[in-house]
Structure 1
Amino acid sequence: MNSYAALLRGIGPSNPQMTNDKLRAVFTGLGFTDVGSVVASGNIVFRCADTDVPALEDRIQEALNAELGIPGGTIVRSREELRALLDSDPFPGLTHSRGTYLIATFFKALEAPAEIPDFDDPLARVVGVDRAARAVLAVVDNSVGKTPDFMAWLEKQYGKDITTRTWLTVQRVVKKMG
């Protein structure tokens, strides 16, 4: 059995159709095992025999839309991909805080861009692209009144088949995967 994490886009925990118990029920209904949720923002871990990740993403998204009316995006990563991303230590010496808000933006595409154009805001900077995990890694300064709209900028550059997680959430997801 393969261990995966589904990173769901557009989940609003206050929406009664998007609660963790309902999300887990969809995954269990698909025949997946060891289904669990991490944080109330659309991070579901599970096990299954499937190895065709794009087909798995489509299958999950179709079920979420049919059963809960969630049209958003489903991005799946294996435990190995996420573990390798964590082990690469892309934020050396940095600790997640308001001044150094560490984020990873995952691409649904089979490849992440080789490099990201400069984001013209001193409060956010791209620190790298992890091609294997298909993720862009960035640091955002949320300690001042005006927060840079880095995620909207990424969406404008690359479309809606992306989703962003804090580095702490990525760590929690991998821990939950065992």
Structure 2
Amino acid sequence: MTSFIALLRGVNVGGITIRSAELRELFDGLGFEAVRTVLASANVAFESPRADAAALKREIEAALAERFGYDAWIVLTTAEHVRAVIDAFPFDAADASRQPWVVFASAASVLDELARGEGLDPAVDPIARGDGVVYWNPVKGTTTDTPFAKLLSRARFTPTTTNRNLRTLAKLAG
């Protein structure tokens, strides 16, 4: 049995509303076990005996699209990988003046482009490339205002990236 984590992109923003109970019901209906949602339904932890993550991703996206009527895109990873991502966070996650974020993307090339951080001030926008992620540790309260935040919000990145706070990931990974 593999413990998976599904991170849904674009849920509960832009008119796409999915309640946690409905999301759990959908994942239960797909035959997954130990299904639980974390924080307003954009995050699902579950277990499956099937190990083909690519096939599971396609199945989940198709079920989300059919049930909720939107062009679903998710990041599907394992709880083990998320724990490793958390453990590898390269900044001081305990620094109360900062907000520790992890950016996931649909392709390594997107992460590479984001991690180059051309023109970014590392004191304002500390970023680092990790295993399948980009780490970001902005000053608390600036996550929509910094140059990296503006880079993430560009039209070419918004459909293929999703980010989560390190604390949310810790809750998901258990």
- Structure 1 length as normaliser, TM-score? 0.81
Cα separation, 1, equivalents of 2:152 and 2:88: 22
Within a 5 Å distance, the mapping from 1:62-101 to structure 2 comes to 62-91=62-91, 93-95=92-94, 97=96, 99-101=97-99
Q: For 2:146, what is the secondary structure of its paired residue?
A: coil
Q: Which residue of 2 aligns with 1:109?
A: 107
Within a 5 Å distance, the mapping from 1:50-65 to structure 2 comes to 50-65=50-65
Unaligned runs of 5+ in 1: none
Query: Residues 114 and 120 of structure 1: is their aligned pair in 2 closer, same or farther, counting only changes over 3 Å?
Result: closer
Q: Which residue of 1 aligns with 2:26?
A: 26
Q: How many percent of aligned residue pairs carry the same amino acid?
A: 24
Query: Residues 125 and 35 of structure 1: is their aligned pair in 2 closer, same or farther, counting only changes over 3 Å?
Result: same
Q: Which residue of 2 aligns with 1:49?
A: 49
Q: Tell me by how many angstroms 1:30 deviates.
A: 0.7
Q: For 2:100, what is the secondary structure of its paired residue?
A: strand
Q: For 1:172, what is the secondary structure of its paired residue?
A: helix
Unaligned runs of 5+ in 2: none
CA contact (8 A) 1:104 1:167 kept: yes
- Structure 2 length as normaliser, TM-score? 0.83
Aligned residues: 170
Q: Tell me by how many angstroms 1:149 deviates.
A: 5.8
Q: Which residue of 2 aligns with 1:5?
A: 5
Query: Residues 82 and 59 of structure 1: is their aligned pair in 2 closer, same or farther, counting only changes over 3 Å?
Result: same
Q: Tell me by how many angstroms 1:80 deviates.
A: 1.3
Query: Residues 174 and 24 of structure 1: is their aligned pair in 2 closer, same or farther, counting only changes over 3 Å?
Result: same
Further displaced range: 138-147 or 24-33: 138-147
Q: Which residue of 2 aligns with 1:169?
A: 168
Shift >4 Å, 4+ stretches: 13-17
Query: Residues 100 and 71 of structure 1: is their aligned pair in 2 closer, same or farther, counting only changes over 3 Å?
Result: same
Q: For 1:105, what is the secondary structure of its paired residue?
A: strand
Cα separation, 1, equivalents of 2:148 and 2:114: 15
Query: Residues 109 and 54 of structure 1: is their aligned pair in 2 closer, same or farther, counting only changes over 3 Å?
Result: farther
